[in-house]
Amino acid sequence: MTNNITYSHNKQKSININRLMFLFMIYIILLICSENKIFARQCFYKSIPDTVTLQPAKFKHAYHQTLVMKMMNAIPDGKGGSKVFINFEKALKLIKDIDNITLGVPKIIYLTGWQYNGHDDLYPAFFEVNKALKRPQDKDAKESLLWLMREAKQYHTTVSLHINMTDAYNNSMMWKEYVENDLISKNADGSLMEIGFYNNLKSYQINYKNEWEKGFAQKRIDSLLKLLPQLKEAGTIHLDAWISRESKGHNESLSTEREYQMKICRYWLEQGIDPTSEWVMDYMTGLIPYYWHFNHRTQADYLNVPANICTGSHMNPDLRNSDFGLEFLFGTSMYGERRFPSENNKIADNEWEKGFTEDFFLNFPQYYYLNGLKRLQVTGEKKQRVAYFSDDVKVSLADSTVKKNNLTLRDKNTIFFPVAWLKNNSYVIFSTTNQVGRSFGVPAEWKGVKTISVQKVTANGLSDRRVVSLKKGSISTSINGNTPLLLTPVKL
- CB distance 72 to 337 below 8 Å: yes
Q: How many helices (H) and strands (E) does the chain have?
A: 13, 24
Beta bridge partners, 115, equal 129
- CB distance 85 to 72 below 8 Å: yes
| pLDDT at residue 296, as a whole number | 86
Per cent of the chain over pLDDT 90 is: 87
- CA separation for the pair 95, 74 (Å, rounded): 17
CA-closest candidate to residue 326, choices 371, 375, 387? 387
Q: What is the pTM of this model?
A: 0.89
Tens digit of each residue's pLDDT (9 = 90 or more) over 24-53: 554 444 444 433 333 333 333 333 333 333
Q: Is pLDDT at 449 greater than 50 in this prediction? A: yes
Class of domain 413-492 as given by CATH: mainly beta
- CA separation for the pair 432, 438 (Å, rounded): 13
Tens digit of each residue's pLDDT (9 = 90 or more) over 65-78: 999 999 999 999 99
Q: How do the domains of the chain map onto residue ranges?
A: 11-46, 63-358, 413-492
Per DSSP, 43 falls in state H
- Whether 63-358 and 413-492 share one fold: the answer is no
| pLDDT at residue 471, as a whole number | 86
Letter string b/e over residues 239-250, b meaning 16 or more CB atoms within 10 A of that residue's CB: bbbbbbbbbebb
Q: What Å distances lie between residue 309 and 36, 146, 168, 366, CA to CA?
A: 24, 30, 31, 18
Tens digit of each residue's pLDDT (9 = 90 or more) over 188-238: 999 999 999 999 999 999 999 999 999 999 999 999 999 999 999 999 999
Tens digit of each residue's pLDDT (9 = 90 or more) over 354-412: 999 999 999 999 999 999 999 999 999 999 999 999 999 999 999 999 999 999 999 99
Domain 63-358 has CATH 2.160.10.10: no
Classify residue 83 as exposed, middle or buried by CB count within 10 Å of its CB (0-12, 13-18, 19+): middle
Compute the average pLDDT of residues 58-62: 95
CA-closest candidate to residue 419, choices 486, 324, 328, 323? 486
- CA separation for the pair 46, 27 (Å, rounded): 16
